[in-house]
Structure 1
Amino acid sequence: MSASIGLHARPAAVFVRAVTETGLPIRIRKAGIEGVDARSLLEVMTADFEFGCEVELSVPDNAVTDASSLQAAEVTLQSLAQLLESQGAADALPRPLNPGRRGKLNPAVTPPNALSLTATIL
């Protein structure tokens, strides 16, 4: 996220709206805090995801019922990571992501039995 204030106000609202539209119970966390429900604007803003922090987006295993759901969840997490890494402070709308800065799926998932992805808020 390019907003120097991090994931607050309009950028947070855009992110939470995008998460809610997925229909998945996505959680977002950073070092030092438990994950919060990414569908909740209050929880996301309270967690204080500042500019430059690395976050982990995750979906619990029980939300992914088959291989096609797993693939869809992976694509969803990647899209949300792109959104976090590309939001502008002025308009809070996603812009194309620099191809060299894509979020990467994390094979060592945390918590256990979850699909997760790491992204940096720029």
Structure 2
Amino acid sequence: MAERTVVIASAIGLHARPASLFCQAAAATGIPITLMSQEGRRVNAASILGVLSLGIDHGETVHLSAEGDGADAALDTLIELLGSDLDAQ
């Protein structure tokens, strides 16, 4: 299992547009990916409703995990995305 941790860089956290961009990227990997909040709540990273339900703010640390072929590359891509300001894109 591949795992990564990242601090959310988007100024408004994972809300609305940043969450949508992240979920689209997670779904595009074709690999089941789990997003876990600082509080330990887990959701499918490709689910916009799941991600929004976590209420993740700027500066919070989240954990991503995935299994399968290409999991490391997929998580590297998603970590890079979350580490950038998605509001500016």
With the shorter chain as reference, the TM-score category is 0.7 to 0.9
Length-normalised TM-score, structure 2:
0.83
Measure, in 1, the Cα distance between the counterparts of 2:86 and 2:42.
24
1:13-70 Cα distance to aligned partner (Å, 9 max, x none): 000000000111101012213211111000101101110011110114xxx2xxxx2x
Give the count of matched residue pairs: 82
Instruction: Report the aligned-residue RMSD.
Output: 1.4
**Which sections of structure 1, spanning at least 5 residues, go unmatched?**
92-122
2:10 to 3, 10, 17: 3
> Using CA pairs below 8 Å that are at least 6 residues apart, which structure has the higher relative contact order?
2
Measured after TM superposition, the shift of residue 12 of structure 1 is 0.5
Q: Which runs of 4+ in 1 moved over 3 A?
A: none
- What corresponds to 1:81 in structure 2? 79
Larger radius of gyration between Structure 1 and Structure 2 = 1
1:13 to 10, 20, 33: 20
Length-normalised TM-score, structure 1:
0.62
Alignment partner of 1:27: what SS? strand
Measure, in 2, the Cα distance between the counterparts of 1:19 and 1:90.
19
Measure, in 1, the Cα distance between the counterparts of 2:9 and 2:81.
11
Identity value in percent: 37
Measured after TM superposition, the shift of residue 79 of structure 1 is 0.7
Change (3 A) 1:88 1:34: closer
